[in-house]
Structure 1
Amino acid sequence: MTFLVIGIFIILLLLGIPISMVLGMITIVYFLLVGDPILLQSTPQRLYSGLENFGLLAVPLFMLAGELMNEGGITNRLVKFSKVLIGHFRGGLAYVTVLSNMFLASILGSANAQAAMMSKVMVPEMEKEGYPREFSSSITLASSIIAPIIPPSMIFIIYGTLSGTSIGGLFIAGIIPGIIFGLGFVLLISYIGLKQKFPKSKRATWQEIRQTTLNVIPALLVPFIIIVGILSGVFTATESAGVACVIALLVGVFFYKELKWRKLPKMFISTVVNTATVTFLIAMANIFGWMIAFEQIPQLIVNTMLSISENPFVFLLLVNVALLIVGMFLDGIAALIILTPVFMPLLTAFQIDPIHFGLIICINLTIGLLTPPVGTGLFIVSSIANVKFENLIKASLPFTAAAIVMLLIITYWSDAVLFLPRLFGL
């Protein structure tokens, strides 16, 4: 019966049915085939119980914070601040793209939102300075995957909710890996820039640097207060999302004066729609995970993995390969929701810290945004930047390779992930 269910699952995906609907449909089909009425009767309760988690409150709140920060004029100030700092180096605008994405990552936490936003801002600017459009688009796409790594991160919230792992611990653990990814992309840009003789921008004056720095300080208050608040124990990771919304509103309305009250209803609607999409997917995945547990698939995978090797090094290598392949075909959040319950029993067997594994699985699935055939980041940037899909894939290959190398560093250098959480007792 398992193979029949898998076959139906693949067919429904190939028909283009949304993954959330596929998860729900395949579960109901399975329960009908089993013929156990108790399973069907319990399904509605399971459907809603998957959403009864305090940590999930952070999802709409961080989405709203991102909307408020974007409409409040934060994006342009962060980009300008980055340009003033490093824009005068060879390939300066490419560095600016990476640094701006790192700043925005501490506000948005969504790679797709960041890719869309930065494609509108940076690709035309880089092309104007003489950079090839394909390269401009590829670096914008690649650096957007830093968004789910640097806190706050929606994908960390979902993993923490599903696995029972500390969301605050995941947030803090993402800081060093996020910096590693940023430095990795900077080194690659340096090599490409020297090879292709990228242009330089005009060096900013001290007066411009001082003024830009003063202007950007309110924008940086949000990530600063989130991290300090969590580390000091003033509020939880979930509560920090509410604090972020309040600060973003105050900064946009009273400091920058670009956030207008009349825009709030539109932002609320956008937040509700995006939240509904995510929570519906979580609810469907919850009953799908229940079906997987009923079929004892996690135990089967555990036994299979242990039969191959009991070495954690080999296990993590197999996990990376499997997740990179899955990320090529499934949306990252959907794959995370499906696979987290499957992998959690393995962590005890191989003595792997759940925070470390959380970074591994989240980064793996985020890299899927760069890989065809269904990498959503590729479609977003290709459409907004007006670059041929196949050309964008080709231009993104060096950055995809660099991302995989950095993933392996984070996989086998656990201290890079766990140093800060251990330091603060998380």
Structure 2
Amino acid sequence: MLTSIFFIAVMLVGVPIGLCLCLSGIVYIFSSGDNILTQSYPTQMFAGVDSYGLIAIPLFILIGEIMNSGGITRRLVDLSMAFIGSVKGGLAYVNVLANMLVSSIIGSATAQVAIMSQVMVPEMEKQGYDKTFAAGLTVYGGMLGPIIPPSVMFVVFSVLAQVAVGDMLIAGILPGVLLTLIFFALIAAMGVVYNYPRSEHRTLRQRASTVLSASPTLLIPIVIVGSILGGLANPTEAAAVGAVSAVIVGKYVTREFDLRTLPQILLRSAIYSAIVLFLVAAAAVFSWLLIYGKVPQTVAAWIQTVAKDPISFLLLVNVILLVIGTVIDGIPGLIMTAPILLPIATEVYHIDPRHFGVVIVINLVLGLMSPPVGLSFFVASAVTGAKPGKMFLVTFPFFVASCVALVLLSLFPALSLGLLK
């Protein structure tokens, strides 16, 4: 109780969330009086980032920076505009569609939000959209990053569940498309209510020209996703190949990437990576202390007494994971909960592990958009200057829509397993 009160208090006074998690862990250790916990604290923090798979995060961030510098992200946005056309709320549709295309390159929600906020928010402001709404919409578009291949979280889950990595990545395709279509429907409804501006009109010839000039940029997601699904590389190796591909495309195709800017790009990538990885390390410590306090084990035992069938189990897990995801980052949250909940899901309720993996990952990703932490909102705030709390309120309908999508995925396994049959 003391730890919870301290966590909420320091967060409300504006202490960065990473420090909130670290300081709350220290308070818990001192209140417990266990010297072993004190000695293990720095070790657990280091262990949180001591993972080969996490190397993919700096590489994906680097890819995003190279894409921005080489004009690749802009061409993907232009490609989305060519497909959408001049409809009411067109740039809002473009934001989601462009996030969907970029998801197949970056694979990380926080990294994607950081990159796309720099591109989409200023453009939407120019066309009359509220900055807070534009930033919030970009955050929800960033949900697609850990769902559409490549996905570091799906790779981590496949290792924990001992299922094929390729199966888990394929299982994320239909849920990603479903979320995109639901967001489109919501934008259409909100566009009527709030009278969103129309995007710039383009002739058929202009659209064709845009598609021809932007199509080579799709080489990057093809290389990344193709190498992973084809079994030629793991996500970290694919990210490295993707970074080289981004340099080649930016240098020789778009001809906008200047090698002299590489030191600044590496510096920016290092800064963003340090922020994300520090949050992962802090969340790892927090997760470790939760496990020490036997919180997850107690919850798992309680679930078995409450849920009587697979559907009630999944719906109950959705609520629990959404709460956990609000205070713990995706990968540490996955590592903490999957080993406890997966055996119950597969052995007691006979749920396909790949289906359960999709549900658990999307749930934890949605937690990144939920108070009190809302990590993705803080990332967007750091880039755009918009207030995190206001972003959540303005885009609350997208939170509700995401919850609806999660319920549909829980009720209908075919929405995640359809491409595997």
Q: Same fold (TM over 0.5)?
A: yes
- Residue 393 of structure 1 is matched in structure 2 by 392
Q: Does residue 11 of structure 2 align to residue 11 of structure 1?
A: no
| Residue identity matched to 2:391 | L
The answer on whether the counterparts of 1:289 and 1:341 sit within 8 Å (CA) in structure 2 is no
- Residue 323 of structure 2 is matched in structure 1 by 325
**Matching residue within 80, 83, 98 for 1:82:** 80
- Residue 371 of structure 1 is matched in structure 2 by 370
The answer on whether the counterparts of 2:325 and 2:363 sit within 8 Å (CA) in structure 1 is yes
3-state SS of 2:351 partner: coil
| Residue identity matched to 2:6 | I
Alpha-carbon offset, residue 77 of structure 1: 0.8
The answer on whether the counterparts of 2:22 and 2:282 sit within 8 Å (CA) in structure 1 is yes
| Residue identity matched to 1:412 | L
- Residue 3 of structure 1 is matched in structure 2 by none
The answer on whether the counterparts of 2:104 and 2:225 sit within 8 Å (CA) in structure 1 is no
Alpha-carbon offset, residue 47 of structure 1: 7.1
The answer on whether the counterparts of 1:285 and 1:337 sit within 8 Å (CA) in structure 2 is no
Task: Write the deviation string for residues 24-60 of structure 1: whole angstroms up to 9, x where unpaired.
Answer: 7478669962x7x7x9888888777776655444333
| Residue identity matched to 1:400 | F
The answer on whether the counterparts of 1:288 and 1:338 sit within 8 Å (CA) in structure 2 is no
Alpha-carbon offset, residue 85 of structure 1: 2.0
3-state SS of 2:326 partner: helix
Q: Does residue 185 of structure 2 align to residue 187 of structure 1?
A: yes
Identity score, percent: 39
Moved more, 355-364 or 122-131: 122-131
- Residue 356 of structure 2 is matched in structure 1 by 357
Q: 1:241 to 1:127 in 2, by over 3 A?
A: closer
3-state SS of 2:233 partner: coil
The answer on whether the counterparts of 2:6 and 2:24 sit within 8 Å (CA) in structure 1 is no
3-state SS of 1:352 partner: coil
| Residue identity matched to 1:376 | L
- Give unpaired runs (5+ residues) of structure 2: none
3-state SS of 1:149 partner: coil
The answer on whether the counterparts of 1:172 and 1:227 sit within 8 Å (CA) in structure 2 is no
Q: Does residue 22 of structure 2 align to residue 21 of structure 1?
A: yes
3-state SS of 2:99 partner: helix
1:117-156 equivalent positions in 2, closer than 5 A:
117-156=115-154
Q: 1:43 to 1:323 in 2, by over 3 A?
A: closer
User: d(CA) in 2 for partners of 1:283 and 1:346?
Assistant: 28
3-state SS of 1:310 partner: coil
Alpha-carbon offset, residue 406 of structure 1: 0.9
3-state SS of 2:147 partner: coil
3-state SS of 2:106 partner: coil
| Residue identity matched to 2:406 | L
The answer on whether the counterparts of 1:9 and 1:22 sit within 8 Å (CA) in structure 2 is no
Alpha-carbon offset, residue 72 of structure 1: 1.9
1:15-414 equivalent positions in 2, closer than 5 A:
15=10, 16=15, 18=19, 21-22=22-23, 25=26, 33=34, 54-160=52-158, 164-275=162-273, 298-348=296-346, 349-381=348-380, 385=384, 387=386, 391-414=390-413
The answer on whether the counterparts of 1:370 and 1:377 sit within 8 Å (CA) in structure 2 is yes
Alpha-carbon offset, residue 364 of structure 1: 1.9
The answer on whether the counterparts of 1:151 and 1:174 sit within 8 Å (CA) in structure 2 is yes
Alpha-carbon offset, residue 246 of structure 1: 1.9
3-state SS of 1:307 partner: helix
Number of matched residues? 414
Alpha-carbon offset, residue 175 of structure 1: 1.3
Moved more, 305-314 or 374-383: 374-383
| Residue identity matched to 2:186 | L
User: d(CA) in 2 for partners of 1:46 and 1:118?
Assistant: 32
The answer on whether the counterparts of 2:60 and 2:239 sit within 8 Å (CA) in structure 1 is yes
3-state SS of 2:400 partner: helix
- Give unpaired runs (5+ residues) of structure 1: 1-5
- Residue 415 of structure 1 is matched in structure 2 by 414
The answer on whether the counterparts of 1:285 and 1:338 sit within 8 Å (CA) in structure 2 is no
The answer on whether the counterparts of 1:127 and 1:136 sit within 8 Å (CA) in structure 2 is yes
Task: Write the deviation string for residues 243-266 of structure 1: whole angstroms up to 9, x where unpaired.
Answer: 212211211222222222233233
User: d(CA) in 2 for partners of 1:28 and 1:112?
Assistant: 29
3-state SS of 1:249 partner: helix
Q: Normalising by structure 1, report the TM-score.
A: 0.82
| Residue identity matched to 1:99 | L
Task: Write the deviation string for residues 89-142 of structure 1: whole angstroms up to 9, x where unpaired.
Answer: 222222111111111111222333333443443334334434455544443333
Task: Write the deviation string for residues 169-201 of structure 1: whole angstroms up to 9, x where unpaired.
Answer: 332222111111110011111122234443333
Moved more, 371-380 or 67-76: 371-380
User: d(CA) in 2 for partners of 1:383 and 1:282?
Assistant: 17
The answer on whether the counterparts of 2:64 and 2:115 sit within 8 Å (CA) in structure 1 is no
Alpha-carbon offset, residue 402 of structure 1: 1.0
The answer on whether the counterparts of 2:220 and 2:245 sit within 8 Å (CA) in structure 1 is yes
3-state SS of 1:141 partner: helix
Q: 1:273 to 1:340 in 2, by over 3 A?
A: farther
| Residue identity matched to 2:227 | G
Q: 1:166 to 1:71 in 2, by over 3 A?
A: farther
Q: Normalising by structure 2, report the TM-score.
A: 0.82
